[in-house]
């Protein structure tokens, strides 16, 4: 009889990205995407979208190279945290506890087989709006900003991995992620996998690193929920010389309206214009895109993805390394 | 220490409504809302939206009076079903097993304290599209229809109850629903409660029955996910003499773009134009709308709700009974 | 044989409104509607939307009472201006030439039978963006602003009049406006008239002043062109305690998606979320809404208009005067 | 002193296209684009969009090769028609009068220097809805259809021409079209020109025929006015194996949201998702896109145009002829 589902991970809580151009990166997230700065400390600035409930969902840290510092997953409870840590310790991928950071308490650090830094945590600090930002819409932690085309909340992260299958299995077995969709090539290898712990099609995705790098970052995604906002922010990007890599268009995988853009620090950012489809079926059978069906899986309609989309990640590496 | 969350109920699976005008009701759901007929048996017709994965999400049964026949919740697993049945049996609200219906296997029937008929089930039949309706979008169980403005999936049900608090507690304690938002009047009574087992703000809502009825139905809701579709279907409704009760507008509670309409059989149907907001916080504190904040909670902006909205439910009863 | 159409008036060029709270009025137009300030002189500030091509389309002048200072129509050519001035002089409603104002050259002033101040002009100053606002979209006179939900261009003006028919005839006969739609009551009187010199359904509308005032202003309208922006700006208005009078909804007359709001100085502002329908038929027969069809003419669907909509204009007057 | 503007042409009235697969072409326009069939005669079927006011805007005629049969322009009046015919006769491009066709009276035929067949007419037959299609929205000639994603009205035609400048001058000088935007290459030649007789950026466009053909057709365009409908119809096209050539995206020229598709007969059809920008300035200076600015002029953002877009027209010709 099938094991029952693990419900120990609740959500993607925050992401840290590195930027060699922190001022331009902050301008991008604050003035164009309308994000709010919570605080600064050392070489880091903490940001959140206006419908993010916690202290921050994005930490921008100055560094020589772009890339992902780490990402954090919040568990469903304190006991759930303890259960997962026990598993991670046994897996050999655990690194140990830190006392916390601005915005959250103790966190257990680990890395994926591919070398991406992640942490699990339970204790978080909620954002509380000052009086002049308090919204009468009680489910909104603050007023909608008047700057740019403001994003609403963190949605997901996409990571490059040398071996999609191994890393997918790690996330499923250790953390309870469910596989929602994946791409299986004719040789049987997995080229991409989309996984979630909620009805979202993914909080985490993995794509094969075609340059053979390790622990690289493909993109993070913030959510609008309204297709028009992808058009609006596209307009803003073109006006402000921000390179749109692809979109707007509609993905087959996830069914989401997407836009890809490179923030000035060099990291790829995706924006979602709708909710795509949501999965409530508790016995969901993963959707398998075969090599010959792949085109529709990647782009259902609209703007195509350039070659760069499948090669470029952060930190950047030499193509020659392939 | 707080008990850990119950994850035994996965989703709202289907709803049965009664219609005294079944032909007109079917015309409404099929020609205007673009729903698909799966099959007919006896006095019932089984329908689904084009992105509903199971055999049906709506069963329309001919009857003298409009109202809700029953609603079905799917559990997270077979063991989860057994756990919940055990609790329901102990609660005194259980009614017993049925062998199943078209589209699903054994189901355990129970009623809420207010008298709404519900059932729990695990075993479901999936819809399989015939070749001419097969979609290359593999997460879509069939092609998008060419009729009307087609809805995508069942979203939620709203029930009238004499005593919101008692019924809310029943759903939370017996089934593991989480309270997401509620209205608390100055005298301490609850006028409405929105509850879910997923990041949706609600699969089930309860509102006080101001006419003092028992087991009455307020509305069911199908989901579009795109605000424009509320405008499009409004246009269609006005052209076809279907009474729009309220909307389009934006609710405070749930943040959703809404439209309310009466189908020809007399039941209220809501349509959702976006995803509203989604709740991923595992320690969510219910949002409390006080009497003096209620206006913004009900309507954030747009079309107001008429008095009728708060009084009319199905089956209809005499106002004099109040 | 029918006289040929007059093509001497080309467009609505600008509007001057009075505000007793100029700072708040400017905050409204600049921070919420994203308008740009061109210049200030004396008690006036000159503004334009980011796709308005001329020096300004809105002049906000400090005054004790809200209301419209004047509106300006641009002719199709210099000879067209001269032809119209000759007619106006003959009509007895002409007032004479002024040398010009910031942003335009000589203008001929006149008033309507109801006493609204208008002017005709040909010579205008074009807006030229400074380098940092220059847009690569060559049909856009400047970059899209990053403030609020920016409006794109001035659309139309709606005036209250004691006698709709007389004023309508004046605009048609003296200036060549075409009647597009009107409301005719059962007693034969006209309650409203929508007129244009272009495929727009109206640059000027007249509605009966139910309080019996003279020369009063009902509203001016700026254009978005995208329905989502009415939702976005509604959200912004509610967050910032700006009173939405009505909308979003869809008018029958003009078919436009509308929103009505009172700017802090007390003048009504409308926002248009789409293009409605456009009239290219050179032999257009005016659409007549009878008293019994009026409901659909005013609101096709969505938010209803409150009683206030039909009574309130600026300057405000005592209801007792009726 | 500048000559005054000619206002003799009012609008694009209808287009005739040839189809080698008339049944499939009709299925495309009726079932997917929701158009209505007015009548059939001989090898032709007459269609209109639901907000087109006349008998038809599209005539589909069975033929061996796809292409444009002719297009018709309606004049501003009977005298305007006579003035233009006199000019055309003098130009040497006039062909003479026909008695009329279904849906209109006498028409004067002519051809452009490049050989496109056009006609001028004044007398038209209006569409009158049968009772079951009568709309209470009085500016809508019939109810909104329930089939597909229905287009609202004919917007414009784009023609290929060997010599853009000569044909542009013909349309401007003989008919009074105003040049709104054009592409001027570094060698001074014009590669494209967009012209109108109304605030629309174009009812007629010309693009250089890179295959050196004569009198070829590039596309006709129907109008939605709502961006979401481009997404909706894209979804429908992909589901029904209709090839989307490009889009959705936003053009720089005209600022319109576009989608290009090939109907089953082989003709290119464009769909417009918004109104773009409208030109009310009577002294409009044409916008000139230089070769090095061209990318933004063609695509402001979104889906790029494939090479095919610039080569393929109907009837198709051998590339070798270049």
Q: What is the mean pLDDT of residues A102-110?
A: 98
CB nearest D234 (choices: A235, A301, A304): A301
Provide DSSP, B206-243.
Answer: EEE-TT--SS-EEEEEEE---HHHHHHHHHHHHHTTPP
- pLDDT classification of B36: cutoffs 50, 70, 90: very high
Shortest alpha-carbon distance between residue A228 and chain C (Å): 6
Cβ atoms of D8 and D76 closer than 8 Å = yes
Cβ of C301 within 8 Å of Cβ of B249? The answer is no
- Which of D29, D146, D151 is the best substitution to test chain B (most B C-beta atoms within 10 A)? D146
pLDDT computed for residue C4 by the predictor? 81
CB nearest C228 (choices: A31, A146, A226): A226
Number of cross-chain residue pairs from B and D with Cβ atoms under 8 Å apart:
40
- pLDDT classification of D212: cutoffs 50, 70, 90: very high
Indicate the SS3 state at residue C88. helix
The pLDDT tens digits for A40-58 are 999 999 999 999 999 999 9
CB nearest D239 (choices: B135, B231, B236): B135
Please give the mean pLDDT across all residues of chain C: 96
pLDDT computed for residue A2 by the predictor? 58
Q: Is B70 part of any domain? A: yes
CB nearest C236 (choices: A144, A239, A240): A144
- pLDDT classification of B320: cutoffs 50, 70, 90: very low
> What 8-state DSSP symbol labels residue A255?
G
Q: Is A220 part of any domain? A: yes
Cβ of A237 within 8 Å of Cβ of D301? The answer is yes
Q: Which CATH number goes with the domain that contains D157? A: 3.10.180.10
pLDDT computed for residue D85 by the predictor? 98
Cβ of A252 within 8 Å of Cβ of B282? The answer is no
Q: How far is CA D27 from CA A85, D33, D217, D313, in A?
A: 60, 9, 21, 21
* Percent of chain C residues topping a pLDDT of 70: 98
Q: What is the mean pLDDT of residues B166-194?
A: 98
Q: Is C2 part of any domain? A: no
Q: Looking at the predicted structure, is the pLDDT value of residue C321 above 70?
A: no
pLDDT computed for residue D319 by the predictor? 67
Which residues from D are below 8 Å from C52, CB to CB? none
The pLDDT tens digits for C280-316 are 999 999 999 999 999 999 999 998 899 999 999 999 9
Distance from C-alpha of C33 to C-alpha of C22, rounded to nearest angstrom:
15
pLDDT computed for residue B318 by the predictor? 81
Which residues from A are below 8 Å from C226, CB to CB? 228, 231
Vertex B237 angle, CA B304 and C182, to 5°:
80
Which residues from D are below 8 Å from A249, CB to CB? 302-303
Q: Which two tokens stand for residue B195?
A: 């509850």
- Which of C31, C146, C150, C226 is the best substitution to test chain A (most A C-beta atoms within 10 A)? C146
Q: Which domain holds residue A256?
A: 9-127+150-321
pLDDT computed for residue D3 by the predictor? 72
Beta-strand ranges (E) seen in C255-306 are: 257-262, 268-272, 287-290, 301-302
Shortest alpha-carbon distance between residue A240 and chain B (Å): 28
Q: Is D69 part of any domain? A: yes
* Percent of chain D residues topping a pLDDT of 70: 98
Distance from C-alpha of D260 to C-alpha of D245, rounded to nearest angstrom:
5
Cβ of D236 within 8 Å of Cβ of B136? The answer is no
Distance from C-alpha of D49 to C-alpha of A284, rounded to nearest angstrom:
43
- pLDDT classification of D4: cutoffs 50, 70, 90: confident
Q: Looking at the predicted structure, is the pLDDT value of residue C320 above 50?
A: no
Shortest alpha-carbon distance between residue B20 and chain A (Å): 32
pLDDT computed for residue C244 by the predictor? 97
pLDDT computed for residue D150 by the predictor? 98
D37, containing H or E segment: strand D36-41
Shortest alpha-carbon distance between residue C133 and chain A (Å): 9
All residues at 6 or more sequence positions from D224 whose CB lies less than 8 Å from its CB, including other chains: D149, D151, D152, D230, D233, D271, D272, D273
Compare all CA atoms of chain B with the CA of A53 and give the residue at the minimum distance. Answer: B281
D1 touches B: beta carbon within 8 Å: no
Among D245, D241, D243, CA closest to D258: D245
* Residues 286-315, chain A, touching D (beta carbon < 8 A): 296, 300-304
The pLDDT tens digits for B292-303 are 999 999 999 998
Cβ of A146 within 8 Å of Cβ of C148? The answer is yes
Q: What is the mean pLDDT of residues B74-81?
A: 97
Shortest alpha-carbon distance between residue A258 and chain B (Å): 15
ipTM comes to: 0.97
Shortest alpha-carbon distance between residue A13 and chain B (Å): 9
C123 touches D: beta carbon within 8 Å: no
Cβ of B302 within 8 Å of Cβ of C300? The answer is no
CB nearest D144 (choices: B31, B144, B235): B235
Q: Is C135 part of any domain? A: no
Among B157, B6, B9, CA closest to B74: B9
Q: Looking at the predicted structure, is the pLDDT value of residue A263 above 60?
A: yes
Cβ of A229 within 8 Å of Cβ of C226? The answer is no
Number of cross-chain residue pairs from B and C with Cβ atoms under 8 Å apart:
52
Q: What is the mean pLDDT of residues A143-172?
A: 98
Between helices B227-239 and C227-239, what is the axis angle to 10°? 110
Cβ atoms of A180 and A195 closer than 8 Å = yes
- Which of A231, A240, A275, A308 is the best substitution to test chain D (most D C-beta atoms within 10 A)? A231
Dihedral Cα B234, B235, B238, B240, nearest 10 deg: -110
Among D205, D199, D202, CA closest to D282: D199
The pLDDT tens digits for A212-229 are 999 999 999 999 999 999
Q: Is D140 part of any domain? A: no
pLDDT computed for residue B2 by the predictor? 58
- Which of D34, D239, D274 is the best substitution to test chain B (most B C-beta atoms within 10 A)? D239
Among B245, B240, B61, CA closest to B149: B240
- pLDDT classification of C2: cutoffs 50, 70, 90: low
Taking the complete model, does pTM exceed 0.90, yes or no?
A: yes
All residues at 6 or more sequence positions from C267 whose CB lies less than 8 Å from its CB, including other chains: C17, C18, C19, C25, C66, C67, C68, C217, C219, C220, C314
User: Which phi and psi angles does D124 have, rounded to 5°?
Assistant: -125, 155
* Residues 192-251, chain D, touching C (beta carbon < 8 A): 198-201, 225-227
Shortest alpha-carbon distance between residue B28 and chain D (Å): 12
Among B106, B89, B105, CA closest to B97: B106
Cβ of C238 within 8 Å of Cβ of A147? The answer is no
* Residues 3-32, chain C, touching D (beta carbon < 8 A): 4-5, 7, 10-12
Q: Looking at the predicted structure, is the pLDDT value of residue D321 above 60?
A: no
Among D179, D180, D171, D305, CA closest to D244: D305
Q: What is the mean pLDDT of residues A122-136?
A: 97
Shortest alpha-carbon distance between residue D319 and chain A (Å): 27
Which residues from D are below 8 Å from B239, CB to CB? 135-137, 143-144
Query: On the CB side of B136, how many CA atoms lie within 13 Å of its CA?
Result: 19
Q: Looking at the predicted structure, is the pLDDT value of residue B282 above 60?
A: yes
Q: Is A140 part of any domain? A: no
pLDDT computed for residue A306 by the predictor? 95
Q: How far is CA B189 from CA A273, B185, B207, B298, in A?
A: 39, 5, 12, 17
Shortest alpha-carbon distance between residue C135 and chain D (Å): 11
Distance from C-alpha of D69 to C-alpha of D74, rounded to nearest angstrom:
17
Please give the mean pLDDT across all residues of chain A: 96
Report the number of distinct structural domains present in chain A. Answer: 1
Provide DSSP, B92-151.
Answer: T-EEEEE--BTTB--EEEEE-TT--EEEEE--BPBP---GGG--SSTTSSSPPPSBSS--
Q: Is D177 part of any domain? A: yes
Cβ atoms of B151 and B143 closer than 8 Å = no
Compare all CA atoms of chain C with the CA of A27 and give the residue at the minimum distance. Answer: C146
* Percent of chain B residues topping a pLDDT of 90: 97
Q: Looking at the predicted structure, is the pLDDT value of residue B322 above 60?
A: no
């Amino acid at each position: 009889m099938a094991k029952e589902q693990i419900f120990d991970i609740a959500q993607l809580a925050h992401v840290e990205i590195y930027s060699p151009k922190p001022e331009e990166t902050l301008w991008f997230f604050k003035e164009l995407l309308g994000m709010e700065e919570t605080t600064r400390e050392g070489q880091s600035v903490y940001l959140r979208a206006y419908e993010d409930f916690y202290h921050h969902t994005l930490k921008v840290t100055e560094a020589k190279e772009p890339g992902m510092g780490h990402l954090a997953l919040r568990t469903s409870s304190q006991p759930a945290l303890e259960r997962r840590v026990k598993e991670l310790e046994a897996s050999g991928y655990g690194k140990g506890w830190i006392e916390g950071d601005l915005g959250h308490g103790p966190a257990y650090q680990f890395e994926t087989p591919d070398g991406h830094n992640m942490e699990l945590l339970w204790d978080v600090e909620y954002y509380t709006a000052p009086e002049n930002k308090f919204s009468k819409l009680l489910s909104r932690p603050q007023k909608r900003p008047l700057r740019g085309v403001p994003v609403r909340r963190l949605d997901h992260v996409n990571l490059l991995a040398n071996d999609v299958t191994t890393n997918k299995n790690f996330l499923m077995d250790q953390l309870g992620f469910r596989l929602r969709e994946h791409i299986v090539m004719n040789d049987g290898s997995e080229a991409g996998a989309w996984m979630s712990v909620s009805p979202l099609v993914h909080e985490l995705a993995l794509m094969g690193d075609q340059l053979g790098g390790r622990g690289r970052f493909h993109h993070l995604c913030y959510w609008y929920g309204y297709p028009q906002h992808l058009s609006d922010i596209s307009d803003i990007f073109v006006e402000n010389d921000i390179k749109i890599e692809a979109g707007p268009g509609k993905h087959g995988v996830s069914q989401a309206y997407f836009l890809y853009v490179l923030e000035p620090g060099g990291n790829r950012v995706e924006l979602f214009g709708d909710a795509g489809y949501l999965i409530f079926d508790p016995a969901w059978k993963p959707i398998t895109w075969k090599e010959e069906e792949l085109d529709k899986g990647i782009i259902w309609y609209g703007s195509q993805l350039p070659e760069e989309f499948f090669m470029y990640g952060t930190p950047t590496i030499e193509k020659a390394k392939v």
